[in-house]
Structure 1
Amino acid sequence: MDLGTLFEFACERHPHYEALVEENTRLSYQELNREIDRLASGLQALGIKQGDRVVLVLKNRLEMVTLYWAVQKIGAVFTPINFRLSPEEIKYCVQDAGAAAVVYEPVSEHAVREAIHELKTLKIGVQGAQGVDVTYGELQKKGTGKPDRPQIHDGDVCLMLYTSGTTGRPKGVPRTHLNEYSAAVAHIVQNQYEVQESTIGVMPLYHTMGMRSLLSMAFLNGKLVMTPDYSAETVLQALDQEKITCVYLVPTIFHDLVYHPNFAKYNLSPLKKLGYAGAAMTKALTEEIIKKLRPEIFVNHYGSSEVYTFSICNYLDKKPGCAGKAGFHQRIRIVVPDPDGHSTPDDLVPAGIPGEIIVDLRSSEAFQGYWNRPDATKKAIRDGWYFTGDMGMIDQEGDLYVLGRVDDMIISGGENIHPLEVEDVVAKHPKVAEVAVVGLPDTRWGEIVTAFIVPKDPSLTVEELDEYCRDSHQLSNFKRPRKYVLVSAIPKSPVGKILRRKLRSGEYEELIMKRESAS
């Protein structure tokens, strides 16, 4: 079974259900399928064939969705990348993928044209982008209206996601029809979605979370509402007007929504099913979401582009921040952490002791290796297990807590300290909007725990923060920050992951503060 065929099944089941919405455009499943067939046929007329990689450098817009399904129907490989990438990064991805075509729009036009001007790659333009070989409108007219459907196997690659590359060159993650189908089914089961749900297409379609929203809605004849230009107000308006029933977002967006000054004026009562992933969520934000949105289902999904689900937790009211137990297709272990990649799946650590999280690669959601990167594959995949690079701990009830990256662990005076446990305490201070904790070099301690804080209230002082942490019963004294830095913003990746390396290297804007450090 392949994804394009599964989409056609959905179109036959409920042809008149609303499928895709963007501003004033509303397409039923029947109308959307016709549009997709024209595009698929057009791509074939231009010489795009089964197995070819098609790179897309687009915002989350209607054309991104239609081209996704068109690529699936002809057996090509949908290869989306961040539209904010630099020309050098785009060139790397296009060449690494061996792309047969690149699709871009005005916002990415300059970077794409600079990146590929020497490459013999077909250029397809959306929304009036210049310098193209064919426009989106022309593509619709190129074909016969129905594509020639090749024989597609569930082990064929249908998608390649590029990891964010926060620690080096981005890595291509090839995913098969079976991988994507299984991940969508797991997402539906784990979030308890039903037929004709509706969601908002705000998570990037170059990210695994965006893909899950796209596929789960299609398989359930749900409605996907696209928002090419993100703002918290735009999302709140769409949630209200479209009566959205479920969302799957990063914590940063939840934060933007529940703390928005106009939050109370929107009716979000149909929104009953919430899921988050991509980064840790503080206890303070978890509690605010429960209080303001009153979800019936609230799921922390922990996973990756490589293996969609590691674990899920749907009892966040009882255990905020918990990652729960292994997902629908999965099992997990905690092993001795080794940044050099020498630990094995048998190097287990007992409950209550931090270690590296590893997951079973026999999951039908799991990839089997990186694209053109045998070095990265060898480090990440050992003896049938995927070594995530994440630190975690299993509690006495068998629940997983994620403690950050192996590389993020702070070693101060010989003690191991994990940033998230410190962040959870600092985040509860009423004058703190956001916090990120890292270890900075120190001649005496090796590293000192340093808290970078975006103030909610400009009157916030270092003295207040240090007194708050000192008086906290949740934080051992050796874990208390020894330095506080007030900053204008916490550096993050496009999907909301804190870029701690930028804080370590001084890439932030410091605010005026009354004292440099805490004693």
Structure 2
Amino acid sequence: MGGVQETGQAATWTAMVSRAYDHARPAVRFGDLTWTGRELLDRAAGAAYWLDTLGLEPGTPVPALAATSADALALVIGGAGSGHPLAPLGVRMTPYELAAVVKATDSQVLLAQPEFATLGGQVAELSGRRVAVVPELRTSARELTGTPDELAAVLHTSGTTGLPKPVPMTQRRLAARARVNGRLCGLGPDSFYGGSAPFHHIAGLGNIAVALAAGALITGLPRFTVEGWTLLRDLGTTHTSMVPAMLETLLAAGEARHGTLRTLQYGGAPVRPGTLRRTYEAMPGVRMLNMFGQTEGSPISVLTPEDHREAVAGRTELLRSVGRPAPGVEVRVHGAGSDGIGEIHGRADHFFRIDAEGWLHSGDLGRVAEDGYLYLYGRGTDMIIRGGENVHPLEVETLLAAHPGVADVAVTGVPDERLGQTVVAFVVPADPDDPPRPESLRHYTRARLSGFKVPVRWWFVDDLPRNANGKVVRRRLREPSEGGTSA
């Protein structure tokens, strides 16, 4: 069996995983395949041995086309423990998009699981790299090593504003993140984690890395579907993560019930009061957590299970916040105006992209209320300047999302000759056959917000463009050239 050698005094993620799975209990379960903890480590050692044969530059991240599977977990563990950190990429991106990301790396090799061999070949040709198709992983006695400052893995930002940017994750900081998130989610050897976020996202591999460090039994799906959720339910999973839109889908389908689920972690958007109440009806004992963060560092803050229970008992305003600073996190609001809104900065041992003083510059705008709860006002780059007045899209969206006739909504700014920018709303109606009247939505918004924040045009759409993290991709919001409904 492959072993682990840890050098340095600080704990490494590789060491945490190796200690957690030094047993003969089930560790991963995908379809008919089940590996014990020792089998997982042996396959990880085999993956490390295979990576050694590829002539890779030590310490250089290796781009990989992989989906959540037992082999993918072994590859990540083996890569972290051999000085060949994996950098999973989005398999739903086009070859041209992937080639641009691969070209930005120093690696001359692109890994591809067999099911992505064709895509890998296309990307390799476009990027001038060599593709290596992952073989059947065998066991090995190769030692898994790791030092605190070596890279364990590399994830990429979601790319909502352009080319995804790499976020290097050191052994030390990934271990720190695993400890913080593991405690918040209550993950341990008796847990069964099952997720459906894409493997290359922080909500995918990022959460799986936490479960691995905790020694949990792990399964997963390549993408979210109602049918996939029922499979996770039938398997008896105890922990999962999703975005609120997924939860809404399950509730609408009448399939949200889950008798064994202990913790439901979500992020990317607030959950509605009505959605929370129906979730508790379907899963009475579930612990709900809203974790605010990003690939570069998470969690920054957390809305705890206790906060959610208070919200459903009457303090619904808590659901508009993202909670208070997570354990070990220092938060400041940089450059705040008279309204207290500024850029959220955070400092913690589990953040990855930081400045010389240890601060993560989130790019998100927010304010801290007197009771310590953090409220978001969107990305700094999303802010609309209408006639010299600042409009924060998230503030308008949060209000409109509470309207009973609105299922989903996004607000953006469009050029205006007189005002510079003006405000436009894209609304997914709760009942497509009977959408709310634009005038009704305008009055609803004006009664609660200043006039300059009220959208001047309203477009009813079937859905909103979102990335795999559930965040709206605003650059893809476009007003129709003709037709549609506006006011």
CA offsets 1:21-51 (integer angstroms, 9 cap, x no match): 1111122212222222222222223434641
Amino acid across the alignment from 2:455 = P
5+ residue gaps, structure 2, are 1-10
Selected match of 1:492 from 453, 461, 466: 466
Q: How many Å apart are 1:413 and its aligned residue? A: 3.7
Counterpart position of 1:332: 331
Selected match of 2:454 from 468, 480, 493: 480
Q: Secondary structure at the match of 2:297?
A: coil
Matches within 5 A, 1:402-417: 402-417=376-391
Amino acid across the alignment from 2:392 = H
Counterpart position of 1:458: 432
Asked if 2 retains the 8 angstrom alpha-carbon contact of 1:309 and 1:329, the reply is no
Correspondence 1:364 to 2:358 = no
Distance verdict in 2 for CA 1:280–1:444, change over 3 Å: farther
Correspondence 1:396 to 2:381 = no
Counterpart position of 2:161: 167
Counterpart position of 2:395: 421
Aligned counterparts of 2:140 and 2:186: Cα–Cα separation in 1: 37
CA offsets 1:301-320 (integer angstroms, 9 cap, x no match): 11121122211111132311
Aligned counterparts of 1:443 and 1:117: Cα–Cα separation in 2: 46
Aligned counterparts of 1:398 and 1:29: Cα–Cα separation in 2: 41
Distance verdict in 2 for CA 1:67–1:384, change over 3 Å: closer
Correspondence 1:470 to 2:462 = no
Correspondence 1:4 to 2:14 = yes
Aligned counterparts of 1:423 and 1:457: Cα–Cα separation in 2: 18
CA offsets 1:413-461 (integer angstroms, 9 cap, x no match): 4332222222223223333221111122233443332210122312334
Correspondence 1:79 to 2:91 = no
Structure 1 length-normalised TM: 0.82
Q: How many Å apart are 1:182 and its aligned residue? A: 0.5
Correspondence 1:436 to 2:421 = no
Counterpart position of 1:307: 297
Distance verdict in 2 for CA 1:471–1:303, change over 3 Å: closer
CA offsets 1:93-121 (integer angstroms, 9 cap, x no match): 22322225322246644443222127674
Correspondence 1:274 to 2:269 = no
CA offsets 1:247-304 (integer angstroms, 9 cap, x no match): 1222232232222x2416xx50211212112345455544543444335421111112
Q: How many Å apart are 1:90 and its aligned residue? A: 1.8
Q: Secondary structure at the match of 1:97?
A: coil
Correspondence 1:30 to 2:45 = no
Q: What percent of counterpart residues are identical?
A: 25
Q: Secondary structure at the match of 1:211?
A: helix
Aligned counterparts of 1:278 and 1:435: Cα–Cα separation in 2: 14
Aligned counterparts of 2:108 and 2:272: Cα–Cα separation in 1: 43
Distance verdict in 2 for CA 1:478–1:122, change over 3 Å: closer
Counterpart position of 1:128: none
Matches within 5 A, 1:134-173: 135-137=134-136, 140=138, 145-150=140-145, 152-173=146-167
Asked if 2 retains the 8 angstrom alpha-carbon contact of 1:489 and 1:509, the reply is no
Distance verdict in 2 for CA 1:399–1:242, change over 3 Å: same
Asked if 1 retains the 8 angstrom alpha-carbon contact of 2:63 and 2:107, the reply is yes
Q: How many Å apart are 1:161 and its aligned residue? A: 1.3
Aligned counterparts of 2:176 and 2:476: Cα–Cα separation in 1: 36
Counterpart position of 2:6: none
Counterpart position of 2:8: none
Asked if 2 retains the 8 angstrom alpha-carbon contact of 1:470 and 1:477, the reply is no
Aligned counterparts of 1:462 and 1:119: Cα–Cα separation in 2: 49
Matches within 5 A, 1:212-251: 212-235=206-229, 237-251=230-244
Counterpart position of 2:342: 355
Distance verdict in 2 for CA 1:86–1:270, change over 3 Å: same
Q: How many Å apart are 1:462 and its aligned residue? A: 5.3
Aligned counterparts of 1:476 and 1:118: Cα–Cα separation in 2: 51
Counterpart position of 2:78: 70
Mean Cα deviation higher: 15-24 or 436-445: 436-445
Q: Secondary structure at the match of 1:165?
A: coil
Q: How many Å apart are 1:331 and its aligned residue? A: 0.8
Aligned counterparts of 2:237 and 2:135: Cα–Cα separation in 1: 29
Q: How many Å apart are 1:199 and its aligned residue? A: 1.6
Q: Secondary structure at the match of 2:50?
A: helix
Aligned counterparts of 2:273 and 2:366: Cα–Cα separation in 1: 17
Distance verdict in 2 for CA 1:199–1:8, change over 3 Å: same
Aligned counterparts of 1:251 and 1:433: Cα–Cα separation in 2: 11
Aligned counterparts of 2:268 and 2:402: Cα–Cα separation in 1: 21
Correspondence 1:197 to 2:191 = yes
